[in-house]
Amino acid sequence: MPKKKIEGYTKSTLFKKTLPYIKKEWKLVLITLLLNIGIAFLTTITPLFTKEILDTYIPANDMTMILWLVGAYLVCTIIVVVMRYFGQYLQTLAGMHIEKNLREDAIRKIDYLPVDYFSLEPDGKIVAKITSDSNGVRTFYMTMFSIINAIINIVIVYVGLIYLKPILGLIILAIVPLILIWITVYRRKVHKYYLDLRETGSRITGKLNELISGALIIQDFNQEENMMNEYKELVNRYNYNDVKANTINIYFGWELLTILKRLAEIGILFFIGYESLGDAGITAGLITTFIGYLDRMINPINAIFNNLNELEDSLVAANRVYQFMDEANDTRILDGVEAPDEIKGDVEFKHIRFAYIEDNYVLKDLSLSVPAGKKIGIVGHTGSGKSSLMNLLLGYNDYQEGELLVDGVDIKIYNKASYRRNLGIVLQTPALFAGTIRSNVTMERDYPDEEVMKVIEEVGAGYMLAKSELGLDTPISFKGENLSLGEKQLLSFARILLRKPKILVLDEATANIDSETEIRIKHAMDVVAKGRTTFIIAHRLSTIKDADEIVVLDHGIIVGRGSHTHLYDTCPIYKDMYDSQFEKNKK
């Protein structure tokens, strides 16, 4: 019979994927396992003290041995308590380390995924995989270890049963098939609901992310009720599956286990009653010890059952995070030849053809040569291929046909990590991080404060340092929300200037800003572009009028190139774009 899969991975595969993380903590795991074996052994022999007291030393009125056995019982109990404390502590510590190591690997995975992945997978789902699903792997380890511990207890207690009375041990063994059937039915019933619970939970996280990040737009379009209804629908689905899982838990839960326990007790009592007629050595101590052993067998079984809920949930979570970890990497990020530490910056696109979807080409046999140090404006209507062309240059996507040469060498031979050291990009929406002006400009690299302050002054952002006594240590909030868009852009330019790349891409860097700020940004652009091969994807054509050359794209092909004056006279698309912006500015 083929193994049942959990959305792509068998349970054994999930365990194999978790095993390397467990091996890293092998000392903690081994000590915890030995402690649990010791606990199981001690809790199995202590009832024998009770049996000896009841059957041997009370009838003989031997108070010395009774006191010795009571003392031994007390010492064993104290040792068990101490061992349980350290066992739980070390087990939890190992689980925390496993989650930490997996989460670090998952975060590191982000750096090696192709850009396309992030356009297809919602941010909220990625966050859920790295956080809650990584926690699910920790739970997977904890529950598996608890189940193994329960099995160890059952086996050792069963050995004690056989030692006391083999025939009674066989009676207990008779309920094992019933328990196995019960566990199998339970898992099959409950699995699909836990699978849907995890998926719906991540969709709820994604929806909350949308509600928070898009709060202003939602309010502006009065979509609060519609968005809330979508959220409620997901929550209702989550609650439905949660109720179903809990209902199954009630039907196949403790009460069913109690019935099985009572059946075993009835069997034992029946056997003891039958044997006592023949005076088969049935004593009060034997009965007490046997009933105690029965409890010690049922309690681990109950622990297994209680862990089955978490095991099902954790299997789904482990599957999701490992599927994320097994996403195909962009192999060129680290594989390939090391790019030169310093380049001139000659760029040539030769017969480039590129498609996001097979045979649906965004760039069609495009050729463009740009000498080092030149400033090139890239313009065109939405969908013309401007950003796609720059994504190829930056190595975010790989072209299907043609060559992209930097200093005469096709960039496909380089690993992207080393190649990108020579590149800089400023986006329309700058990426800033919670920290300080210094940390956002240096990106946590070690630069002298004087050098950092110099580049900030050069791009025209020196006033930002003067506004606060803290200077470079002026706090910047999450996403730079305490700064204006223009200030964010200026810090992005300072970051690039400090890095000193030879090829620079400015993607709509002056879009969505007022005229006064545009003047500052234009100054910063001129500063960082000096001596660098610069590509400017322009929304405002006024910002590229002084470019060495302007390239006009339309549906993935070059339809015009030259100076502003030349294009205005010869390229209808450029003329229409410029005139429409000019008329808008006049109004």
Q: Which residues of 483-507 are buried (b: 16+ CB within 10 A; e: fewer)?
A: bebbbbbbbbbbbbbbbebbbbbbb
Question: Tell me: the pLDDT tens digits for 405-430?
Answer: 999 999 989 988 888 888 888 877 77
31 located within any domain: yes
**d(Cα 328, Cα 114) in Å, to the nearest integer?**
8
Q: What number is the average pLDDT over the span 331-350?
A: 85
Q: CA 484 from chain center: how many Å?
A: 31
What pLDDT score was predicted for residue 585? Answer: 56
340 located within any domain: no
One domain for residues 289 and 222: yes
**d(Cα 552, Cα 386) in Å, to the nearest integer?**
9
**d(Cα 30, Cα 20) in Å, to the nearest integer?**
15
Q: What sign for the dihedral angle of Cα 370, 376, 379, 383?
A: positive
Where does a domain end: 329, 360, 383?
329
What pairing do the DSSP bridges indicate for beta strands 533-537 and 423-426?
unpaired
**d(Cα 415, Cα 339) in Å, to the nearest integer?**
7
| Residues with Cβ within 8 Å of residue 407, at least 6 apart in sequence | 340, 343, 344, 345, 346, 372
One domain for residues 396 and 325: no
**d(Cα 404, Cα 360) in Å, to the nearest integer?**
20
The two three-digit tokens of residue 555, written as one number:
């549906």
**d(Cα 61, Cα 53) in Å, to the nearest integer?**
10
**d(Cα 32, Cα 34) in Å, to the nearest integer?**
5
**Cβ-contact 433, 440 below 8 angstroms:** yes
What CATH number corresponds to the domain at position 494?
3.40.50.300
546 located within any domain: yes
21 located within any domain: yes
**d(Cα 140, Cα 313) in Å, to the nearest integer?**
8
pLDDT classification of 4: cutoffs 50, 70, 90 = very low
One domain for residues 300 and 427: no
Considering the entire predicted model, what is its pTM?
0.69
Question: Tell me: the pLDDT tens digits for 312-322?
Answer: 778 878 888 89
**d(Cα 470, Cα 480) in Å, to the nearest integer?**
17
One domain for residues 187 and 311: yes
Where does a domain end: 274, 303, 329?
329
pLDDT classification of 1: cutoffs 50, 70, 90 = very low
- Of the candidates 35, 42, 17, the one whose C-alpha atom is nearest the C-alpha of residue 101 is 17
574 located within any domain: yes
What pLDDT score was predicted for residue 161? Answer: 76
What CATH number corresponds to the domain at position 141?
1.20.1560.10
The helix-helix angle for 132-164 and 166-173 (nearest 10°) equals: 150
One domain for residues 125 and 251: yes
One domain for residues 456 and 579: yes
Q: Which residues of 464-478 are buried (b: 16+ CB within 10 A; e: fewer)?
A: bbeeeeebbebebee
One domain for residues 461 and 317: no
Amino acid letter at 400?
Answer: Q
One domain for residues 357 and 457: yes
**Cβ-contact 296, 157 below 8 angstroms:** yes
Domain total for the chain?
Answer: 2
Question: Tell me: the pLDDT tens digits for 50-78?
Answer: 877 777 777 777 788 888 888 888 999 89
334 located within any domain: no
Q: What number is the average pLDDT over the span 128-147?
A: 86
One domain for residues 325 and 445: no
28 located within any domain: yes
One domain for residues 248 and 296: yes
The helix-helix angle for 166-173 and 284-325 (nearest 10°) equals: 40
Domain that holds residue 90: 7-329
One domain for residues 39 and 105: yes
Q: End-to-end CA distance of the chain: give it in Å, rounded.
A: 75
One domain for residues 295 and 164: yes
Partners of residue 561 on adjacent β-strands: 551
38 located within any domain: yes
